[in-house]
Structure 1
């Protein structure tokens, strides 16, 4: 059986991550990302569930995930997956949207799967340029054209803050989890904060967020651990600082969600820093 290939590159000019998974058999449990994800299926089929909708994705489909869109993904009939995506932090997306539209806001994708999308070749070209570490401005040109078309075709109109329909009590729980992720948290605490009994909290939280409170907490811990790893913190210390029981549990959980081990993920940024150092030496 052909070995899986997992490649990740951070582009320091665009400030985005590019992932490429080839020959992947892994199922991904219910999770979310704190960033936008724009991905494409190069080969294979997958069952995808997102925001209470189920899809069967296949070659040529474009995937769009907002920050905190919970989703699951599993293989069909042992078929391998070839997948590319770019990950865009909210502040980078906001900056790009401001340049494109003149409006300062975060867009909201209104479709998660675009079947046989005409934008796939554009994303493939951008992804290839990032992976090849090409430095000309064609990369930025494609990036802006891609984001512009997605905004025009697949996002909601600009929403006013008073139109957001997020339950206040559930948001209080989310804020508490985000501020106390490294601590041991009891369901009784969350129930008290939400002013609900435990079952009502679990039911309402899952309905609104598409993910259970504990799974939400685990996602926060992984995303915080990513930032620590990016800054050179050793995996064992990242595990401790983000509330995981031990490094083994952290490594297994991290790989299930990200598709890479903590060390593999950290090496992306170590290698990127080395390349930047080499470039600086040449300039001097």
Structure 2
């Protein structure tokens, strides 16, 4: 049975994540108006491109430039992969650069575990509506894949702080219940998003989206001493749903919100 999913976020235009899980479904010759960044998770995928036939075993990346005609199919009984599509016109804004790479040098570089791991993390964030976490992870992935496989130069080290990270921290402390996005934070701090994340991590030990989650969990501990239902509490604190809240709470504290509440009342 096919279980394909196409995920989008309305506030993140020009970016899609295709989660493929199928057997036997072929994709005829086509092209995309976007860069495609994929990783094979299970099985063997295959495609024809530039007059050659390619097989992609698990652990292989699949990189495709815009307007590159190709086909697609499974060469195994089951094929599972993630494929990120990013429209070319969106890259200057997402990467904050005027000069961008022309395209990927090689379409299927094998066994790049670092890129595959970042894509897997991005797939997790796509399930939620946490703009700051998703955009931060997207930037990390795009920087990595275009530096490694697109010839893009790494950004220089972030300039000295000048107090901008403290102002950013104060903003996160005051607006932790809201949907915060990376572009807005970059505007507030007058920094490139990558420099913003790097400088914040250098001063506070974690990136802004992690700091924001920690702030929400700190407030959650206070609210759990009361009678607020978990589902309502999750929405009050800006989480996608109760499951997102409970998973994040346990990740930072080691226990579920229910157990924390029970222990606080004993």
Q: TM bucket by the smaller chain?
A: 0.5 to 0.7
Asked whether the 8 Å contact 1:7–1:19 carries over to 2, the reply is yes
1:113 aligns with 2:108: yes
| Cα distance in structure 1, aligned partners of 2:147 and 2:50 | 22
> In structure 2, what is the equivalent of residue 46 of structure 1?
45
* Distance change >3 Å, CA 6–CA 153, structure 1 → 2: same
SS in 2 for 1:137: helix
Q: Which string of whole-angstrom CA distances, capped at 9 and with x for unpartnered residues, describes residues 174-200 of structure 1?
A: xxxxxxxxxxxxxxxxxxxxxxxxxxx
* Distance change >3 Å, CA 106–CA 13, structure 1 → 2: farther
In the alignment, structure 2 segments of 5+ residues that lack a partner are 154-237, 239-266
Structure 2 matches for 1:1-284, cutoff 5 A?
3-15=1-13, 16-76=15-75, 78-97=76-95, 99=96, 102-105=97-100, 107-118=102-113, 119-130=115-126, 132-156=127-151
| Cα distance in structure 2, aligned partners of 1:128 and 1:43 | 17
State TM-score, norm by structure 2. 0.52
**How large is the RMSD of aligned CA atoms in angstroms?**
2.2
| Cα distance in structure 2, aligned partners of 1:116 and 1:134 | 30
| Cα distance in structure 2, aligned partners of 1:45 and 1:36 | 21
State TM-score, norm by structure 1. 0.49
Asked whether the 8 Å contact 2:101–2:151 carries over to 1, the reply is no
Asked whether the 8 Å contact 1:85–1:127 carries over to 2, the reply is no
| Cα distance in structure 1, aligned partners of 2:24 and 2:144 | 32
State the number of aligned residues.
152
Which is bigger in relative contact order (C-alpha 8 A, separation at least 6)?
A: 1
Return the index of the structure with the highest Cα Rg. Answer: 2
Q: Which string of whole-angstrom CA distances, capped at 9 and with x for unpartnered residues, describes residues 209-258 of structure 1?
A: xxxxxxxxxxxxxxxxxxxxxxxxxxxxxxxxxxxxxxxxxxxxxxxxxx
In the alignment, structure 1 segments of 5+ residues that lack a partner are 159-278, 280-284
Q: Which string of whole-angstrom CA distances, capped at 9 and with x for unpartnered residues, describes residues 34-54 of structure 1?
A: 111111111111222222333
Write out the 4+ residue segments of structure 1 that deviate beyond 6 Å after TM superposition. none
